[in-house]
Structure 1
Amino acid sequence: MKPVRYAILAAAALAATPSLAQGRLGLLPQGEYVCALPGVADGAAWNEVEGHGFSITGASSYTTDKGSGTYLLEGRRVTFTRGPLKGHKMMRVSSGLLQELDRDGKLGRLRCHRAGPVRD
Protein backbone atom coordinates (compact mmCIF):
# COMPACT_ATOMS: atom_id res chain seq x y z
CA MET A 1 0.00 0.00 0.00
CA LYS A 2 1.21 3.48 -0.75
CA PRO A 3 1.99 5.91 2.10
CA VAL A 4 -0.89 8.19 1.04
CA ARG A 5 -3.38 5.36 1.56
CA TYR A 6 -2.01 4.75 5.07
CA ALA A 7 -2.44 8.42 5.89
CA ILE A 8 -6.03 8.41 4.64
CA LEU A 9 -6.85 5.26 6.64
CA ALA A 10 -5.25 6.71 9.78
CA ALA A 11 -7.19 9.97 9.43
CA ALA A 12 -10.46 8.07 8.95
CA ALA A 13 -9.79 5.95 12.04
CA LEU A 14 -9.10 9.04 14.17
CA ALA A 15 -12.25 10.78 12.94
CA ALA A 16 -14.35 7.73 13.88
CA THR A 17 -12.97 7.55 17.44
CA PRO A 18 -15.75 8.82 19.76
CA SER A 19 -13.42 10.13 22.47
CA LEU A 20 -11.71 12.39 19.96
CA ALA A 21 -14.90 13.61 18.30
CA GLN A 22 -16.89 15.03 21.24
CA GLY A 23 -17.44 18.50 19.81
CA ARG A 24 -16.59 22.12 20.43
CA LEU A 25 -15.72 23.46 23.85
CA GLY A 26 -18.32 25.70 25.42
CA LEU A 27 -19.69 27.25 28.60
CA LEU A 28 -22.91 26.64 30.49
CA PRO A 29 -25.22 29.58 31.27
CA GLN A 30 -24.36 31.08 34.65
CA GLY A 31 -26.87 30.61 37.44
CA GLU A 32 -28.27 28.33 40.11
CA TYR A 33 -29.03 24.76 38.98
CA VAL A 34 -31.61 22.71 40.90
CA CYS A 35 -31.50 18.93 40.52
CA ALA A 36 -34.58 16.70 40.70
CA LEU A 37 -35.89 13.24 39.92
CA PRO A 38 -39.15 12.61 38.05
CA GLY A 39 -42.16 12.23 40.35
CA VAL A 40 -45.09 9.84 40.22
CA ALA A 41 -48.50 10.10 38.55
CA ASP A 42 -50.43 10.67 41.79
CA GLY A 43 -47.91 13.03 43.41
CA ALA A 44 -45.43 15.76 42.67
CA ALA A 45 -44.15 16.00 39.08
CA TRP A 46 -40.58 16.52 40.32
CA ASN A 47 -38.79 15.67 43.55
CA GLU A 48 -35.87 17.98 44.28
CA VAL A 49 -32.75 16.11 45.44
CA GLU A 50 -31.12 18.04 48.29
CA GLY A 51 -27.35 18.37 48.10
CA HIS A 52 -27.13 17.87 44.33
CA GLY A 53 -27.64 21.48 43.25
CA PHE A 54 -24.79 23.68 42.06
CA SER A 55 -24.11 27.14 40.66
CA ILE A 56 -22.26 27.95 37.45
CA THR A 57 -20.29 31.03 38.49
CA GLY A 58 -17.99 31.86 35.60
CA ALA A 59 -15.80 30.48 32.86
CA SER A 60 -15.83 26.71 33.49
CA SER A 61 -16.33 27.19 37.26
CA TYR A 62 -19.03 25.96 39.63
CA THR A 63 -19.78 25.97 43.36
CA THR A 64 -21.74 23.69 45.68
CA ASP A 65 -22.40 23.66 49.42
CA LYS A 66 -19.25 21.52 49.73
CA GLY A 67 -16.84 23.70 47.72
CA SER A 68 -15.99 24.82 44.22
CA GLY A 69 -14.49 23.27 41.11
CA THR A 70 -14.31 23.29 37.34
CA TYR A 71 -16.15 21.61 34.49
CA LEU A 72 -15.57 20.94 30.80
CA LEU A 73 -18.35 21.27 28.21
CA GLU A 74 -17.49 19.36 25.02
CA GLY A 75 -20.32 19.48 22.51
CA ARG A 76 -23.28 18.48 24.70
CA ARG A 77 -21.30 16.49 27.30
CA VAL A 78 -20.48 18.13 30.65
CA THR A 79 -17.72 16.59 32.75
CA PHE A 80 -16.97 17.97 36.21
CA THR A 81 -13.17 17.86 36.31
CA ARG A 82 -12.31 19.24 39.77
CA GLY A 83 -13.99 19.83 43.10
CA PRO A 84 -16.85 18.07 44.88
CA LEU A 85 -18.55 16.90 41.64
CA LYS A 86 -15.32 15.57 40.08
CA GLY A 87 -16.04 12.68 37.70
CA HIS A 88 -19.79 13.39 37.46
CA LYS A 89 -21.00 13.54 33.84
CA MET A 90 -24.10 15.10 32.35
CA MET A 91 -25.63 15.70 28.93
CA ARG A 92 -26.82 19.17 27.94
CA VAL A 93 -30.41 18.58 26.82
CA SER A 94 -31.18 22.27 26.24
CA SER A 95 -29.62 25.62 27.16
CA GLY A 96 -30.73 25.39 30.80
CA LEU A 97 -31.32 21.65 31.29
CA LEU A 98 -28.77 18.93 32.05
CA GLN A 99 -29.40 15.20 32.49
CA GLU A 100 -27.04 12.83 34.28
CA LEU A 101 -25.05 10.20 32.40
CA ASP A 102 -24.29 6.83 34.00
CA ARG A 103 -20.96 5.00 33.69
CA ASP A 104 -22.08 3.44 30.39
CA GLY A 105 -22.91 6.86 28.92
CA LYS A 106 -26.69 6.27 29.09
CA LEU A 107 -29.03 9.02 30.25
CA GLY A 108 -30.01 8.68 33.90
CA ARG A 109 -33.07 9.94 35.75
CA LEU A 110 -31.56 12.96 37.55
CA ARG A 111 -32.09 16.28 35.78
CA CYS A 112 -30.69 19.68 36.71
CA HIS A 113 -32.29 22.87 35.42
CA ARG A 114 -31.19 26.48 35.63
CA ALA A 115 -33.50 28.06 38.19
CA GLY A 116 -32.21 31.64 38.06
CA PRO A 117 -29.17 33.87 38.61
CA VAL A 118 -26.46 33.06 41.14
CA ARG A 119 -27.47 34.22 44.61
CA ASP A 120 -24.92 36.02 46.76
Structure 2
Amino acid sequence: GRVKFEKEDYPESLVAMFKAHDLAKELDDKFWIGMSARGIADVYNNRYNTGDGVHYSEIELENLRLADRQPYINYAMLDLANTYCNNRDYEKTYEICRQLTDSANKYSDTYLYTTVR
Protein backbone atom coordinates (compact mmCIF):
# COMPACT_ATOMS: atom_id res chain seq x y z
CA GLY A 1 0.00 0.00 0.00
CA ARG A 2 2.81 2.42 0.87
CA VAL A 3 4.63 1.70 -2.40
CA LYS A 4 1.46 2.40 -4.37
CA PHE A 5 0.97 5.59 -2.34
CA GLU A 6 4.49 6.80 -3.13
CA LYS A 7 3.84 6.07 -6.82
CA GLU A 8 0.62 8.14 -6.53
CA ASP A 9 -1.54 5.13 -7.38
CA TYR A 10 -4.07 6.10 -4.72
CA PRO A 11 -6.91 3.69 -5.62
CA GLU A 12 -4.59 0.67 -5.46
CA SER A 13 -2.96 2.05 -2.33
CA LEU A 14 -6.35 2.26 -0.60
CA VAL A 15 -7.21 -1.31 -1.61
CA ALA A 16 -3.97 -2.60 -0.10
CA MET A 17 -4.30 -0.44 3.02
CA PHE A 18 -7.87 -1.61 3.65
CA LYS A 19 -6.79 -5.25 3.22
CA ALA A 20 -4.06 -4.70 5.81
CA HIS A 21 -6.50 -2.90 8.09
CA ASP A 22 -9.08 -5.70 7.86
CA LEU A 23 -6.43 -8.34 8.56
CA ALA A 24 -5.08 -6.41 11.54
CA LYS A 25 -8.61 -6.07 12.94
CA GLU A 26 -9.20 -9.79 12.43
CA LEU A 27 -6.00 -10.50 14.39
CA ASP A 28 -6.87 -7.77 16.93
CA ASP A 29 -3.36 -6.36 16.53
CA LYS A 30 -3.70 -2.81 17.85
CA PHE A 31 -0.32 -1.69 16.51
CA TRP A 32 -1.07 -2.76 12.93
CA ILE A 33 -4.65 -1.51 13.11
CA GLY A 34 -3.14 1.88 13.92
CA MET A 35 -0.44 1.68 11.26
CA SER A 36 -2.86 0.63 8.51
CA ALA A 37 -5.27 3.38 9.58
CA ARG A 38 -2.33 5.81 9.23
CA GLY A 39 -1.85 4.70 5.63
CA ILE A 40 -5.54 5.04 4.85
CA ALA A 41 -5.59 8.52 6.42
CA ASP A 42 -2.53 9.51 4.38
CA VAL A 43 -4.29 8.61 1.14
CA TYR A 44 -7.49 10.42 2.12
CA ASN A 45 -5.60 13.51 3.26
CA ASN A 46 -3.52 13.54 0.09
CA ARG A 47 -6.70 13.43 -1.99
CA TYR A 48 -8.36 16.25 0.05
CA ASN A 49 -10.88 13.93 1.67
CA THR A 50 -10.22 15.36 5.13
CA GLY A 51 -13.42 14.07 6.71
CA ASP A 52 -12.39 10.46 6.20
CA GLY A 53 -8.81 11.45 6.93
CA VAL A 54 -9.84 12.66 10.40
CA HIS A 55 -11.74 9.43 11.03
CA TYR A 56 -8.77 7.20 10.22
CA SER A 57 -6.28 9.45 12.01
CA GLU A 58 -8.41 9.08 15.13
CA ILE A 59 -8.42 5.28 14.69
CA GLU A 60 -4.63 5.42 14.25
CA LEU A 61 -4.09 7.31 17.49
CA GLU A 62 -6.59 5.25 19.50
CA ASN A 63 -4.98 1.95 18.51
CA LEU A 64 -1.38 3.07 18.90
CA ARG A 65 -2.26 4.26 22.40
CA LEU A 66 -3.76 0.83 23.12
CA ALA A 67 -0.57 -0.76 21.79
CA ASP A 68 1.38 1.59 24.11
CA ARG A 69 4.12 2.23 21.57
CA GLN A 70 6.25 5.35 21.69
CA PRO A 71 7.24 7.30 19.59
CA TYR A 72 4.40 6.06 17.37
CA ILE A 73 1.84 7.63 19.71
CA ASN A 74 3.44 11.06 19.42
CA TYR A 75 3.58 10.88 15.65
CA ALA A 76 -0.02 9.64 15.49
CA MET A 77 -0.92 12.75 17.47
CA LEU A 78 1.01 14.84 14.95
CA ASP A 79 -0.85 13.14 12.09
CA LEU A 80 -4.16 13.91 13.80
CA ALA A 81 -3.17 17.54 14.39
CA ASN A 82 -2.25 17.91 10.70
CA THR A 83 -5.52 16.31 9.66
CA TYR A 84 -7.54 18.56 11.98
CA CYS A 85 -5.69 21.57 10.55
CA ASN A 86 -6.45 20.45 6.98
CA ASN A 87 -10.08 20.10 8.05
CA ARG A 88 -9.94 23.67 9.48
CA ASP A 89 -10.54 22.54 13.07
CA TYR A 90 -7.96 24.88 14.55
CA GLU A 91 -8.98 24.55 18.20
CA LYS A 92 -8.34 20.80 18.19
CA THR A 93 -5.14 21.36 16.23
CA TYR A 94 -3.85 23.81 18.83
CA GLU A 95 -4.74 21.52 21.76
CA ILE A 96 -2.89 18.54 20.28
CA CYS A 97 0.13 20.69 19.38
CA ARG A 98 0.29 21.94 22.96
CA GLN A 99 0.34 18.33 24.19
CA LEU A 100 2.94 17.41 21.59
CA THR A 101 5.24 20.20 22.73
CA ASP A 102 5.18 18.70 26.22
CA SER A 103 5.80 15.19 24.82
CA ALA A 104 8.65 16.40 22.62
CA ASN A 105 10.33 17.89 25.67
CA LYS A 106 9.69 14.78 27.77
CA TYR A 107 11.18 12.44 25.16
CA SER A 108 13.88 14.88 23.97
CA ASP A 109 12.54 14.60 20.42
CA THR A 110 13.92 17.68 18.67
CA TYR A 111 12.39 16.75 15.31
CA LEU A 112 8.92 16.55 16.86
CA TYR A 113 9.49 19.77 18.77
CA THR A 114 10.54 21.76 15.72
CA THR A 115 7.72 20.28 13.62
CA VAL A 116 5.08 21.23 16.18
CA ARG A 117 6.42 24.73 16.85
Q: Quick check: which one's strand share is greater?
A: 1
The alignment's TM-score, normalised by the length of structure 2, stands at: 0.20
The alignment's TM-score, normalised by the length of structure 1, stands at: 0.20
Q: Which has the larger radius of gyration?
A: 1
Question: Highest relative contact order (Cα 8 Å, sep 6+), 1 or 2?
Answer: 1
